[in-house]
Amino acid sequence: MSASTTTAHAVDSITRGSVPRLTFARITRAEWIKTRSVRSSYWTAAATLAFTVLFAAGVLLLVSVAPAADVPDPAAVIVDSYGEAPGIGVAGFAFLFAYALVAVFGVLVVSTERSTGLLATTLAAVPRRTPVLAAKLVVSAVVGMAIGLIGAVASFLLVQPQLAALGLGSSLLDPDALQVLAGGTLFVGLIAVMSTAIASLFRGTAAALGAVLGLLVLAPTLIPIIPGIGGEIAGFLPSSAGMMLFQPATQVGWQPIVTGGLVLLGWTIGAVVVAGALFKRRDV
């Protein structure tokens, strides 16, 4: 082997060794860096946590400090509003109010990058589009679940002193509480993934938000007013069905929880499949 050939081989080896491999972990890390560098991500997360926690604390506080003439039995009012285990009910309400804002975050994961033109740079660096979309979905799911779980746990813990004073306190380690927290976390995670997948189909943020919030928030409100079949159709919408995931199994049973989870999972998988197919074919 000649000296020139040996040198060329060595240079080629050094060059190949100095360039980091484009792994899925690195792509996901890049998506996480981009997501956390956008102010809207922080504002959405902060607004979600603040809204859910303040709502949970505010309702119970108003009942607790209300004049005895107006609320002679605060414990009965709280049980009527939140069920036999009010702490679990508060956690469920936290997920109920958080999911719409988590959906907004899911949209921003992809729409902000597309509207600024950064997506073209990303796809130039990562020519294979499927890993890029998959990384966005992973980041959306993880952050969405974190927001929902933190909000629910914070709400649960925040109201415990008030509930304990009324003899209604409970533990975060109770089986029902763990089941509701796990189901609610899965719910907001799937909502985030589906929102990101749907948002990838649109070029504008406004159109993406309209489609996602229309499906998740507006449709469950309007469809039930259709005579005859409206109520049944609404039960198969993603948000309506998915809400069963954070209902206590001791109260509603496991069948509606599993059915609701499967319906939401089906919507999510469908959105991801369509998004993946079009994301690879469409121009940026």
pLDDT, tens digit, 9 for 90 and up, residues 111-170:
888 777 777 788 878 878 888 999 999 999 999 999 999 989 988 888 888 788 778 888
Contact between residue 101 and residue 40 where contact means Cβ atoms under 8 Å apart: no
| Residue 234 in this model has a pLDDT that exceeds 50 | yes
Give the integer Cα–Cα distance in Å for 45 and 96. 15
The span from the CA of 132 to the CA of 63, in Å, is 49
CA distances from 112 to 27, 38, 190 (A): 17, 8, 20
Query: What single-letter DSSP state applies at residue 126?
Result: -
C-beta of residue 253 within 8 angstroms of C-beta of residue 259: no
Mean pLDDT, residues 40-63: 76
Q: What is the pTM of this model?
A: 0.85
